[in-house]
Each structure stands twice: as C-alpha cells, then as structure tokens.
C-alpha cells in the first residue's frame, strides 16, 4: 500500500500517536506524517504510507492554513494554555487596536521559535532544555504570513485564520501579537484547516479509519503532489530518465518552464519529480 491519507487529528493525542494507529491498521512499518501538530491542536495531518514516505519533504513545503484562538492578557512559558502562567495583565485595547496590530504581521517576517518546540540546538531539542529550566537564545527565522482573516473579536479573546509558510509557529505569532499590543497573549486553541490541497473538508477523522475502509481514502502519490505541474515524455526517454541521464533535446525542452519542480510522466505513467536547468532536464526524485 503506497499513498497518502488525509487524516483529521483529534485533540489530546500526538502526531506520533496518529502514525502508530495507522501502522496498526495497515500493518505497514514505513509510515510518516507531514508536519507535527501539538496534542492541544487538531486538524489536517496528511499521513504518508509506504513509498509515499519519500515525498514527505515535498508535501511539507506547501502553505498551511490555521484557525487560532488568541487569549490576550495572559503569557505562559509555552505560549499556549498548557504552560505555566508567567503574566496576567489587564487588556486595555480596542478591537481596532487588535486589527491594526494583527495586520502588521502579514508579509515576510522574522519569527523566533518558542523554547517549547522540537527544534534542535547542540543536539538537544529545545523543549528538553526548557523542561530543565534552561532558556537559550534562539535565532530568528524568516517565515511568510500570506494572509490573516479575523473571524471574531470578543476581548480578551480573538479568533482568526492565518495562511502561512512552512515553519511558522502560531504560538509564537500569538505571543508576538500580545507583546505588540502591550498586554501579552497566548494561544488558546489551534486547528489546522489545510496544508496545500489537503483540507479539513476532504479529510477523514482518525477514529473513522479501519482496516476495511482505509484503502478507500488512499490518495495516490502523484495526486498527492498535484500542486506541482505535470510534464510528459515519450517512451523513448523512459530509460534515460530512469537512469538519471539528462535530456537535452531542445524541441522537447522549449515548452518546459525553467527551474520549476515538475511531476514527470512517461506517457500516462508517473515516475517521479524532475526539473529543467541550464538547457537540460533531469530527475530529482524517482518514485517508481
């Protein structure tokens, strides 16, 4: 069984718990997820099975959409409600103040990851250091907030949807919004609505998956990569591409965009991902 299941992860379990359950259902060991969701977060978590584990990194590159609940006036060490409360402040801001500050975060910004995160520093995960009471300086990372749509403001609570790039911490975004408003803030809830074309609407709840129905929800590897454009080659190029030989036929290459990662087909057979560069085309990832 090779492909991707668009799983909806419930609250209060880890992403690894989801992987473990899929392993049990399928009796397949080679399974991976496409981006961790914290236990207090629910939502879309595509799971790669078998050969599809080879495309985890490519699926993770896509944008994400989250629905976040922000509680102003409260600051915790984890930037969410699971942590220890460090500050409890009055919220003396208006709804307009909130809108103005939130909109400042749209665009490419530098974000400092939270201490309670799985990022590694000197071989140790940050959350391991944080649990020992050790706080280390973290380097800011460039991330992109493509859009923020405020759903509701009922102070001290704010609900909003955010479309963002890979590597964005919504907990840090909530913390930074609260800091900018001068009253502090923490993430009170999080739901991932989509990751690329995998959406909440076309997901299957983890609890509804069984040995009998799991194949019904299996998305083929090439369909899972549908955000990448398709390029077709003839049968005569199959052996060359499969052996890693570069194609330099100008007549074939003239209509292929430069430097874009593309799904490669030999007639109607999907073989992997490839790219054109410097007047030649070559495979980047064979998936057969």
Number of domains observed in the structure of the chain: 3
Catalytic residue among 2, 17, 38, 69: 38
Question: Cα 50 to chain center, whole Å?
Answer: 20
**pLDDT for residue 221:** 95
| Mean pLDDT for back-to-back runs of 10 residues, the chain (288 residues) | 95 92 94 88 96 93 96 94 92 96 96 69 63 66 96 98 94 95 96 96 96 95 93 89 87 82 92 89 90
The domain spanning residue 44 has which CATH number?
3.30.2350.10
The range of the structural domain enclosing residue 218 comes to 3-62+197-224
Q: Do 79 and 184 meet the contact criterion of CB atoms below 8 Å apart? A: no
- Whether 204 and 183 map to the same domain: the answer is no
Q: Is the residue at 192 inside a domain?
A: no
- Whether 71 and 154 map to the same domain: the answer is yes
- Whether 75 and 143 map to the same domain: the answer is yes
- Whether 26 and 77 map to the same domain: the answer is no
**pLDDT for residue 249:** 81
**pLDDT for residue 109:** 94
Q: Is the residue at 207 inside a domain?
A: yes
**pLDDT for residue 116:** 63
Catalytic site residue 38?
A: yes
The model carries a pTM of 0.89
- Whether 132 and 205 map to the same domain: the answer is no
Q: Is the residue at 150 inside a domain?
A: yes
**pLDDT for residue 10:** 96
**pLDDT for residue 150:** 98
Distance in angstroms between the alpha carbons of the first and the last residue of the chain: 13
Q: In whole angstroms, what is the distance from residue 83 CA to residue 134 CA?
A: 15
**pLDDT for residue 253:** 81
């Amino acid at each position: 069984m090779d492909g991707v299941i668009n799983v909806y992860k419930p609250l209060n379990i880890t992403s690894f718990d989801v992987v473990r359950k899929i392993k049990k259902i399928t009796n397949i060991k080679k399974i991976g997820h496409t981006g961790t969701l914290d236990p207090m977060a629910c939502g879309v978590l595509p799971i790669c099975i078998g050969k599809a584990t080879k495309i985890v990194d490519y699926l993770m590159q896509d944008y994400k959409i989250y629905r976040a609940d922000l509680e102003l006036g409260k600051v915790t060490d984890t930037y969410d409600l699971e942590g220890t409360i460090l500050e409890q402040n009055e919220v003396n801001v208006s709804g307009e103040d909130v809108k103005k500050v939130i909109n400042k975060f749209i665009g490419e910004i530098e974000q400092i990851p939270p201490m309670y995160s799985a990022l590694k520093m000197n071989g140790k995960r940050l959350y391991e250091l944080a649990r020992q009471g050790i706080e280390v300086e973290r380097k800011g990372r460039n991330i992109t907030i493509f859009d923020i749509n405020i759903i509701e403001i009922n102070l001290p609570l704010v609900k909003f949807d955010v479309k963002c790039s890979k590597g964005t911490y919504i907990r840090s975004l909530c913390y930074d919004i609260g800091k900018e408003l001068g009253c502090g803030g923490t993430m009170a809830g999080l739901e991932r609505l989509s990751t690329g074309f995998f959406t909440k609407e076309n997901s299957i709840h983890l609890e509804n998956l069984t040995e009998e129905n799991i194949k019904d929800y299996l998305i083929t590897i090439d369909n899972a990569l549908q955000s990448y454009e398709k390029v077709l080659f003839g049968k005569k190029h199959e052996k060359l591409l499969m052996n890693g030989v570069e194609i330099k036929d100008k007549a074939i290459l003239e209509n292929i965009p430069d430097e874009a990662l593309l799904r490669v087909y030999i007639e109607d057979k999907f073989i992997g991902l490839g790219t054109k560069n410097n007047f030649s085309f070559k495979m980047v990832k064979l998936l057969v």
